[in-house]
Chain A
Amino acid sequence: MDQEIIKHFEDRGLSAGFLANSRGQVFCGRDSASMQSEIAQMATVIFETIGAVGDLSIDRIQIIGKSRGVVAEINKDRIIGSILDGDERDSAKRVFASLDEIKGIEVPVASAVVEPEPAVDAAKAEAAVEEPVEQAVEEGEKPEAVTKPKIRLDAGILETMKSILKDYVGDFADRIFNNQMKAQRIKSEALHDEDARRLIFALGKAAGMIIGPSKGRDMTNKLLALLK
């Protein structure tokens, strides 16, 4: 599948596309093949830097130099993008548009298997999740971590979260909640456990500024309990 993404890139005129994952695998396009080890190094640096800055969910990066640029989208465990040369080095829109088109085509093995429909309660969803398909591990590759299933949640959980937030911060709740929904780019109609977790930590941090860090932590734990 990963190599197919590179082909989709090439079909869209991006011949220096690349895909690197956190297991050290790198797939390159025609014009980026000679830079495979440098791309692997870049991916390692980006993953490590993201790890160092903590729980911020960085999903896009552009590093634009005077002669060449790197434009990429970041998921938890992979970086997909392209190297752009000369006047094209800042054509981020083109790369991201191609990635959006590819996403429409791509059905990654893990998400195709583990995302249950329709949405259900968190607890029920956990039981309903199928086992992820075991993928072959190539020689010399790091053993693959078990893919954590992505669990779809009922949007009703958001109302429960808002109500708990209100118990802690009173009239500030609506604004904090709406601002964090927007800031974390959470869509109630497609809510997953990882979105909810991200939202909970953001709400805990925001509430902590009003009610103090220990009460903020207490609220965070109460909200996290909703996901169990």
Chain B
Amino acid sequence: MADLEKLDKIPGIVGYAVVRADDGAVETVKGSSTASVGDLTAFFSSAGEVIRDSLSLGDIEYISLCYGNSRLVIFTRGAKYLGVEIPRDTEPAELIKKIGAAEAVKPKIETQLPRSISSKLQQINLLIDEFGGEKKDHWFDLLNQGLGILGGDLNPYVGVMDSKFDFKDNPPADKEDDFVQALRSIIDFLVKKAVEEMGSSQARAKVQAVIEKMR
């Protein structure tokens, strides 16, 4: 089975699910996909097996589904199915090649972010530290939820890696303004969630602490 942490670092991956091939149980769902990638992977891997046998396709290399602006590519890894959501215009073979390369060597992409983006990124990580404390996973889930509805074109470029929200690849120059705006919306979303969960005075104190750290 692929080292899942490597998937987190591959640019272009919006989200993914791991499903057991023997019983279709969904083991893992990660990322900011708004579609139910776990269910899609489970249902279509099973349907693919029926179609494979009926039409004598041979062992499945991959199944690709397109919906809206997204594509889900399902393929086997050992005794499991991996369903990976990517932008629609990415070819499945290209993705599988990228994953194969990442499995062979550790991807090392040096990202150089404009200051406007890196400061927002820092702010988000500090907010998650403050809001989450020792329990950051819940806040990473909320972050992914926020990315799913507010991130748009930003999503294939970012992800949570080694307990840190970061860029997997350099953002295109012409997208800088859009990405800054997306990150600003994500910050507002996290703050709104903090107010809901801990009340406005505690949330305000934590936001103030982040502002102090960023000075």
Contact = CB atoms under 8 A, between A and B. Distances in A.
Interface of A: 35, 38-39, 41-42, 45-46, 48-49, 52-54, 56-70, 83, 90, 92, 171-172, 175-176, 178-179, 182-185, 202, 205-206, 209-210
Nearest to A37: B54
Contacts of A176: 149-150
22 contacts: A38-B54, A53-B36, A57-B67, A57-B68, A59-B66, A59-B67, A62-B62, A64-B57, A64-B92, A65-B59, A65-B61, A66-B60, A68-B57, A69-B57, A172-B150, A179-B150, A179-B151, A182-B69, A182-B152, A183-B70, A209-B149, A210-B149
Contacts of A63: 48, 51-52, 57, 60, 63
B34 A205 contact: yes
Given A58-B67, A185-B68, A175 B54 contact: no
Contacts of B189: 172, 210
Contacts, number: 131
A62 B64 contact: yes
A67 B44 CA distance: 19
Contacts of B43: 49, 52-53
B58 interface: yes
B47 interface: yes
Contacts of B66: 58-61
B88 to A, nearest CB: 8
Nearest to A71: B64
B58 A68 contact: yes
Given A64-B92, A185-B68, 8 more contacts: A49-B44, A61-B63, A62-B63, A63-B52, A67-B57, A68-B58, A171-B185, A183-B68
B63 A56 contact: no
Nearest to A212: B196
Contacts of B67: 56-59
A182 B51 CA distance: 32
A70 B51 contact: yes
A70 B57 contact: yes
Contact of A179 (B60, B92, B149): B149
A179 B152 contact: yes
Contacts of B58: 65-68
Contacts of A67: 56-58
Nearest to A61: B65
B69 A53 contact: no
Nearest to A60: B66
